[in-house]
């Protein structure tokens, strides 16, 4: 609770709203003891005096009544009526909701049908019908506004009650032989009261507005008594000649409703944990780049040359070093595996290449990625966009969430081509069908018009692969493309990728946590741990003689090729949190060979025989490199 | 698709019946002698006798309901005593004017609300986002009737850009341009609150969608950001925006009451208020049932639009 209030207070707008509202409420409570002129005493000699007149700060109205006095009395009445309507609606609506939710079954059905019927009405229309039946008057307006808000409470509270009615403590109370009424009042009610209060605070603004509205129409408070709405309604006939009589009550309604809205928004934000963690921010078109030192010089080797890449996540004051000084390069037509547990930074490395790391919170803080002689890190958006999907294409993990659910797969394929090459409509369709054929999708002619949800997981991933191939890119970056699939489908998709790689001579950067997959597909492999590369070499060498203790553990986790879908449960301990890396070797806490030496200083890569390893006590000694 | 529409229309029948039951019950609650209450100041002995006969007020409640319902189904909504003409004629005539006003306001709030919400989300925390968020806060807090009055002061009295009130000029008006000229201020005043609500919702729907994996896919394909936002993201966000459009249409339709009073627009809302003040209950009854029924049908159209957009909905 104190935390909630702190959060609320930090929201300056909400605080402002709260203060304004408190002042308005306080003043309207004090109205009877304030030295005001009587609000209803007419004095036609003094009609329509302008604001700041002698004795009448806000002037007078068409009957010469003091506007300030009428305003404050009217505010008091409007607030009281609005609050009363809110309470009535909350009490009756919640009672209905609790009964429906608690008893369930037919009771619930009948009640909720009725509620649905009420909600089918345009809101104000129902209030008008009720006032029509009861006749104009403030009390009747209050009843009408309360009545049309009952369904809102009934529905919300029912939902909460249904959730509670099946909790153990309710069952326990039933077994203890307590009656329904006792259970409702002692077990259910205390749990729904907070929700009722919140629902009330969000609707009270509406209720004040609606009662004011009915009064404005002449259906609410009747003269000489006036709430803000009827003041405005009466002033309307003098709008053109004496606008101040309209502006004064109108502004007051506006101020009240706005302060309630501000406060309500603040309450909602403080209660919504997603907003608190900042997770609701949207990623920008490219990852933010803020390099702290001058980047390495080009032009770079191979089709893709990642140099000393550093990518971090900045969440509040915390900094997560997801990728730390990673260098990788890929030759044309080569398949490079990047392997590691989740959280090792392998996916972030992959996404950094084309600036696809969600930003905020992602920031590329150092390094370079060379492609065709130019540095992609910090390249302009237009440059990156032209290369994305054309020269460097991606395949992502879960094809159900990575394909657009509302667009036909044929159109999604066609779009991949169209954004880079001007091709006619008919040809695009044919190209899409050809692509589907390329990835061995049967009945491509009809499948091209399917939506993603009409396909199987394996089929969808084939579509994603087809999309990556659409423009014959130089490199495909595949981020765990088979992890979400069944084992058999996984094998099919892998062999498809392998075939396609040879047919199209495309280089692949393959991100995975599964050594079986690496063995099947990759020429070379880089092992990542805690945001760093800990070992690198040809697949054959590493499979035969892993040098890093971590690599060795990883391999032991995969009994059979391609069958390892487990997230390496076999390695004792957890991967490190990348905001709190130990100095020296990040693997030390889980390493059986760890010595005191390992955690003293950062460990450099040792190179030899075309391999590299970041370990003081490797499993196998690398062949000494000949001095150049 | 045709089958789906028929199915939705059939499912609307109980709702429509429910609406008539509710309106009937509200009217049946009128205290005192119903005939006199219904007739109000028009309760001459002949009228009382006529209405007792028309509505079968001597019969039990259930029978009365079915007589009333049966009459309505044949297009007989009774006769307005204050206007001395059939209720249905008056309602149809007035409803046209309301439809013009509310329809225009609905188009305004849909277009501007969605555009503002999308821009706001695409530029989250940027200047445009802050400006829009602030404008939305003002917009949803200002009572439409007060806004309408202030617009009259500013743009019809101080500067004579638009007419003070009415639907057509009294002399020499009557064409479409004249209608449009009269329509501008009331339609905007009516649309403001709904625009704010829609903008707010569109913003959060877009923020939700923009974090989805398929947006990253679109960007990875090299789709231009403009297209990512306005096609890929907006299309997905519409799934949660459309139902709110349906709800807001209800607010616009009934909020027209205030605007029709302020701008003296000859719509069904102003008719209802006058009828209530005159205690012309049959006119109120007919007007409410008619407008509510139209709203139910509109919501079916919303559902159909939703199913056209989202192939995952079983039709
Ligand atoms: S450096 Fe030390 S702790 Fe790290 S892997 Fe090698 S032996 Fe283990």
pLDDT tier for residue B25 given thresholds of 50, 70 and 90: confident
Give the whole-angstrom CA distance, residue B73 versus residue B6: 20
Structure tokens at B249: 């249409």
> Measured in Å, how far apart are chain B's first and last C-alpha atoms?
6
Burial of A454 (0-12, 13-18, 19+ CB in 10 A): middle
Res. A567: pLDDT tops 50: no
Domain ranges, ordered by start, for chain B: 92-268
Residue-level pLDDT at B311: 86
Residue-level pLDDT at B227: 95
CA of A571 relative to ligand 1 center, distance in Å: 15
- B217/A213 Cβ within 8 A: no
> Residue A282: its chain B contacts at CB < 8 A?
121-122, 124, 206-207, 210-211
Give the whole-angstrom CA distance, residue B203 versus residue B226: 16
Superfamily name and number for A2-28+66-275 = MetI-like (1.10.3720.10)
Mean pLDDT computed over A465-486: 90
Give the whole-angstrom CA distance, residue B282 versus residue B78: 7
Q: Closest CB to A128: pick one of B223, B224, B288.
A: B288
Domain ranges, ordered by start, for chain A: 2-28+66-275, 282-391+471-628
> Residue A232: its chain B contacts at CB < 8 A?
145-146, 149
Cβ < 6 Å from ligand 1: which residues? A 548-549, 585, 587-588, 591, 593-594, 598, 603, 615-617
Residue-level pLDDT at A32: 87
- B223 contacts chain A (CB < 8 A): yes
pLDDT in tens, A597-628: 888 888 888 888 889 999 988 888 777 655 44
Nearest 5°: phi and psi at A421? -135, 135
pLDDT exceeding 70 applies to what percent of chain A? 93
The CATH number corresponding to A282-391+471-628 among 3.10.20.600, 3.40.50.300, 3.30.70.580, 3.75.10.10 equals 3.40.50.300
Residue in chain B lying closest to A281 (CA): B207
Please give the DSSP secondary-structure letter assigned to residue A312.
E
> Residue B137: its chain A contacts at CB < 8 A?
258, 261-262, 265
- B225/A285 Cβ within 8 A: yes
Nearest CA to ligand 1 atom 6: A615
- B32 contacts chain A (CB < 8 A): no
> Residue A257: its chain B contacts at CB < 8 A?
141-143
What pTM value is reported for the model?
0.89
Q: Which of A210, A230, A215, A212 is nearest to A70 (CA)?
A: A230
Mean pLDDT computed over A98-102: 90
A475-479 and A507-512 strand pairing: parallel
Hey, is B155 helix, strand or coil? helix
pLDDT in tens, A224-261: 888 899 999 888 888 888 888 889 899 999 999 999 98
- A451/B213 Cβ within 8 A: no
Q: Residue window 70-129, chain A: list those with CB within 8 Å of chain B.
A: 113-114, 116-118, 120-126, 128-129
- B146/A246 Cβ within 8 A: yes
CA of A585 relative to ligand 1 center, distance in Å: 6
Mean pLDDT computed over A521-550: 92
- B251/A121 Cβ within 8 A: no
Of B222, B271, B314, which to mutate for an interface test with A (greatest number of A Cβ within 10 Å)? B222
Mean pLDDT computed over A327-352: 91
pLDDT in tens, A147-178: 999 999 999 899 888 888 888 888 888 888 78
Res. A565: pLDDT tops 50: no
CB environment A131-168: b (16+ within 10 A), e (fewer):
bbbbbbebebbbbbbbbbbbbbbbbbbbebbeebbeee
pLDDT tier for residue A562 given thresholds of 50, 70 and 90: very low
Mean pLDDT computed over B148-173: 84
Ligand 1: atom nearest CA of A593 is: 7
Ligand 1: atom nearest CA of A599 is: 3
Say if CB A221 and CB A138 are below 8 A apart.
yes
Q: Closest CB to A132: pick one of B141, B228, B276.
A: B276
Give the whole-angstrom CA distance, residue B125 versus residue B130: 6
Q: Which of A46, A38, A30, A43 is nearest to A68 (CA)?
A: A38
CB pairs under 8 A between A and B: 234
pLDDT in tens, A340-353: 888 888 999 999 99
Residue-level pLDDT at B46: 77
A392-395 and A475-479 strand pairing: parallel
Q: Which of A205, A138, A405 is nearest to B137 (CA)?
A: A205
- B211 contacts chain A (CB < 8 A): yes
DSSP for A157-172, written as a single string = HHHHHHHHHTSHHHHH
pLDDT in tens, A457-471: 889 999 999 999 999
- B271 contacts chain A (CB < 8 A): no
DSSP for B3-17, written as a single string = HHHHHHHHHHHHHHH
Q: Which of A571, A583, A593, A612 to mutate to test the pocket of ligand 1 (most atoms within 8 A of CB)?
A: A593
Residue-level pLDDT at B77: 85
Say if CB A55 and CB A40 are below 8 A apart.
no
Question: CATH topology for B92-268?
Answer: MetI-like fold (1.10.3720)
Residue in chain B lying closest to A206 (CA): B141
> Residue A212: its chain B contacts at CB < 8 A?
143
> Residue B138: its chain A contacts at CB < 8 A?
258
Q: Closest CB to A404: pick one of B137, B208, B232.
A: B232
């Amino acid at each position: 609770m104190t935390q909630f209030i702190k959060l609320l207070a930090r929201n300056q707008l909400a605080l402002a709203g709260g203060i304004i509202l408190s002042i308005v409420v306080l003043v309207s409570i004090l109205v009877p003891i304030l030295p005001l002129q009587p609000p209803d005493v007419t004095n036609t000699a003094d009609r329509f005096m302008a604001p700041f007149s002698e004795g009448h700060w806000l002037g007078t109205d068409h009957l010469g009544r003091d506007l300030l006095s009428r305003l404050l009395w009217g505010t008091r009445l409007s607030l009281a009526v609005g609050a009363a309507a809110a309470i009535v609606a909350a009490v009756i609506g919640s009672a209905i909701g609790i009964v429906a939710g608690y008893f369930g079954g037919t009771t619930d059905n009948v009640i909720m049908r009725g509620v649905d019927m009420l909600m089918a009405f345009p809101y104000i229309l129902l209030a008008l019908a009720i006032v029509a039946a009861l006749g104009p008057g403030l009390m009747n307006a209050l009843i009408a506004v309360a009545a049309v808000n009952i369904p809102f409470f009934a529905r919300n509270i029912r939902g909460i009650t249904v959730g509670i009615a099946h909790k153990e403590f309710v069952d326990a109370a039933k077994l203890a032989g307590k009656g329904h009424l006792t259970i409702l009042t002692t077990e259910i009610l205390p749990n729904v009261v907070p929700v009722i209060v919140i629902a009330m605070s969000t609707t009270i603004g509406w209720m004040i507005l609606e009662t004011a509205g009915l009064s404005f129409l002449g259906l609410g408070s009747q003269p000489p008594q006036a709430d803000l709405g009827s003041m405005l309604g009466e002033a309307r006939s003098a709008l053109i000649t004496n606008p101040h009589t309209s502006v004064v009550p109108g502004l007051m309604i506006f101020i009240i409703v706005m302060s309630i809205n501000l406060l309500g928004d603040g309450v909602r934000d403080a209660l919504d944990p997603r907003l608190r963690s900042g997770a609701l921010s949207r990623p920008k078109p490219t990852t933010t780049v803020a390099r702290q030192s001058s980047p390495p010089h080009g032009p770079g080797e191979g089709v893709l040359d990642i140099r000393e890449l550093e990518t971090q996540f900045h969440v509040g004051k915390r900094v997560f070093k997801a990728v730390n000084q990673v260098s990788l390069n890929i030759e044309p037509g080569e398949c490079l595996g990047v392997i590691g547990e989740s959280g090792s930074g392998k996916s972030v490395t992959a996404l950094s290449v084309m600036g696809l790391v969600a930003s905020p919170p992602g920031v590329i803080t150092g390094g370079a990625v060379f492609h065709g002689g130019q540095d992609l890190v910090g390249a302009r958006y237009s440059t990156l966009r032209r290369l994305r999907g054309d020269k460097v294409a991606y395949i992502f993990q879960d094809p159900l969430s990575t394909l657009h659910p509302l667009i036909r797969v044929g159109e999604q394929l066609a779009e991949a081509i169209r954004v880079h090459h001007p091709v006619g409509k008919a040809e695009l369709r044919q190209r899409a069908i050809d692509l589907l054929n390329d990835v061995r999708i049967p009945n491509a002619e009809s499948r091209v018009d399917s939506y993603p949800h009409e396909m199987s997981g394996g089929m969808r991933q084939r579509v994603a692969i087809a999309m990556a191939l659409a423009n014959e890119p130089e490199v495909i970056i595949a981020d765990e493309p088979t992890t979400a699939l069944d084992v058999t489908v996984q094998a099919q998709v892998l062999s498809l990728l392998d075939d396609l790689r040879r047919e199209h001579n495309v280089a692949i950067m393959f991100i995975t946590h599964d050594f079986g997959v690496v063995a099947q597909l990759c020429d070379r492999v880089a092992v990542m741990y805690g945001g760093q590369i800990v070992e690198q070499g040809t697949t054959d060498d590493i499979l035969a003689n892993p040098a890093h203790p971590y690599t060795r553990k990883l391999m032991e986790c995969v009994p059979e090729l391609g069958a390892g879908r487990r997230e390496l449960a076999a390695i004792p301990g957890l991967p490190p949190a990348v905001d709190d890396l130990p100095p020296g070797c990040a693997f030390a806490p889980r390493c059986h060979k760890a010595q005191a030496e390992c955690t003293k200083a950062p460990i450099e890569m040792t190179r030899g025989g075309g391999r590299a390893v970041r370990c003081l006590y490797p499993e196998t000694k690398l062949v000494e490199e000949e001095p150049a | 698709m045709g089958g789906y529409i028929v199915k939705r229309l059939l499912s609307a029948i109980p709702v429509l019946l429910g609406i008539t039951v509710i309106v009937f019950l509200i009217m049946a609650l009128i205290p005192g002698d119903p005939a006199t209450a219904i007739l109000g100041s028009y309760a001459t002995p002949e009228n009382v006798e006529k209405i007792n006969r028309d509505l079968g007020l001597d019969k039990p409640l259930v029978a009365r309901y079915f007589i009333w319902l049966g009459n309505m189904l044949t297009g007989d909504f009774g006769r307005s005593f204050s206007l001395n003409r059939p209720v249905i004629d008056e309602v149809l005539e007035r409803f046209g004017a309301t439809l013009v006003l509310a329809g225009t306001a609905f188009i305004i709030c849909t277009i501007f609300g969605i555009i503002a919400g999308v821009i706001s989300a695409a530029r989250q925390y940027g200047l445009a986002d802050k400006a829009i968020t602030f404008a939305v806060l003002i917009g949803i807090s200002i009572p439409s009737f007060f806004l309408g009055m202030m617009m009259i002061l500013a743009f019809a009295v101080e500067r004579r850009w638009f007419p003070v009130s009415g639907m057509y000029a009294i002399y020499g008006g009557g064409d479409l341009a004249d209608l449009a000229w009269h329509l501008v201020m009331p339609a905007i005043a009516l649309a403001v609150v709904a625009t704010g609500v829609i903008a707010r919702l569109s913003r959060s729907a877009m923020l939700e969608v923009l974090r989805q994996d398929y947006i990253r896919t679109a960007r990875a394909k090299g789709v231009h950001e403009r297209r990512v936002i306005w096609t890929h993201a907006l299309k997905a966000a519409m799934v949660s925006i459309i139902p709110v459009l349906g709800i807001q249409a209800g607010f616009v339709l009934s909020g027209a009451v205030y605007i029709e009073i302020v701008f003296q627009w000859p719509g069904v809302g102003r008719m209802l208020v006058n009828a209530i003040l005159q205690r012309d209950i049959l006119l109120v009854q007919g007007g409410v049932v008619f407008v509510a029924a139209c709203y139910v049908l509109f919501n079916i159209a919303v559902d159909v639009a939703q199913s056209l957009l989202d192939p995952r909905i079983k039709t």
